[in-house]
Amino acid sequence: MNPFYTLVADRAAHRCEYCHAPELVFNFPFEVKHIVPLYRGGADAEFNLALACRSCNLRKGTRISGIDPESGTEVRLFNPRQDQWNDHFQVDSDSGTLVGKTPIGRVTIACLEINSQAQVTARQLWIRLSLFP
């Protein structure tokens, strides 16, 4: 396990810092992810680490930006150390989808496929169980 896991998980309240999935419903700990990958000049330090569910971690990979589906411009992804989640994302409690309130939110949702059918179905259940948001 990553030596920074406890610090990063506690700071994130044991939620994925991208999609806000609650770690407690999974049968294994979430992953400690470099926000800016090492090969892109990111540091191996706590200010560059985020807690990520497996889905967000795999889809983020080495990305740091993407194309905003609304404007067609390149925009950086959500950075949990610089950005406030509620500034960029909104939960539609009826549908279980996340809505991007900003270009950063929209790009992050698109690149990480945060509204995939599996994610939305799980989120609907978490909402009914009062585990989300």
Q: How many CB atoms lie within 10 A of CB 49?
A: 24
For the entire predicted model, the pTM comes to 0.95
pLDDT in tens, 65-114: 999 999 999 999 999 999 999 999 999 999 999 999 999 999 999 999 99
Scanning the chain, the segments in alpha helix (DSSP H) are: 5-11, 54-60, 85-88, 103-111, 117-128
- Per residue in 30-74, pLDDT (tens digit) is 999 999 999 999 999 999 999 999 999 999 999 999 999 999 999
What is the identity of the amino acid at 26? F
Tens digit of each residue's pLDDT (9 = 90 or more) over 109-133: 999 999 999 999 999 999 999 999 8
| Residue among 15, 12, 6 nearest 126 (CA) | 15
User: For residue 1, what pLDDT is reported?
Assistant: 81
Q: How confident is the model at residue 14 (pLDDT cuts 50, 70, 90)?
A: very high
pLDDT given at position 84: 98
pLDDT (0 to 100) of residue 40: 93
Which of helix, strand or coil describes residue 89? strand
Rounded Cα distance between 43 and 70, Å, is 31
